[in-house]
Amino acid sequence: MRTSLPTVLVLCLLPLAGWAQAPPDTASEPGAAMAGPVTAGVTGPKFQKRIVVRREMGRWWKDPETAKKLQLNDGQISQLDQIFYEHRLKLIDYGAAMEKEDLKLENLLDADVPNEGQISSQVDQVLSARGKLEREYTMMSLDLRKVLSLDQWRQLKTIREERGPKDNLFFYKQRGPAPPGAPLPPPPPAGDTF
């Protein structure tokens, strides 16, 4: 029973490495440039990973409809691009570091005789890497917010609330060979583009 906690933790933490992946470039459709953090659920530690992309941050200023509603000027757009670029470099590094720590934990959990002490220590490493990634994402969001006036910030919050959970994208990432006879995941909902 003691090894079940680390197993649950790894299943919850593995998918978060997707945060550092580039958001989909779908700015051509209204509201589509609001791609942001990734959350996920794993259907098996070595098999398929269901990832939900919440479209709330990312390069939302690239969406013409949002930029128009917020009345962003060229200077603000330039600042937002630069802030996003600088933080993305760090997010990529932190995401890779977290993925490495996840892989180490997965390897420990796959052992014939799992070493609880090593697993516990590695869970701490995974949580530390995840914390760095989450902190960087939060700081990026804060830095992007600082570029906006109070009225623009309130309007952006309203835009997000209006779009709500319907702005989620679903996709699956194969982590390894599926077991024989395993069902395939359902296709993404119609109308979602990447």
Give the pLDDT confidence score for residue 94 in this predicted structure.
Answer: 95
Q: What is the pTM of this model?
A: 0.59
- The ranges assigned to domains in the chain are 4-174
∠ CA 66-71-76 to the nearest 5 degrees? Answer: 95
Structural element, H or E, at residue 189: none
Give the pLDDT confidence score for residue 68 in this predicted structure.
Answer: 94
Give the pLDDT confidence score for residue 165 in this predicted structure.
Answer: 60
Give the pLDDT confidence score for residue 181 in this predicted structure.
Answer: 63
End-to-end Cα, the chain, rounded Å: 40
Give the pLDDT confidence score for residue 27 in this predicted structure.
Answer: 42
pLDDT along the chain (194 residues), means of 10: 47 45 42 42 44 55 93 96 95 95 96 95 96 94 95 92 61 53 58 40
Q: Tell me the CA distances in angstroms from 85 to 26, 77, 78, 82, 150, one per residue in order.
A: 18, 12, 11, 5, 23
Classified as helix, coil or strand, 52 is: strand
Summarize the chain as % helix, strand, coil (round to 5).
60, 10, 30
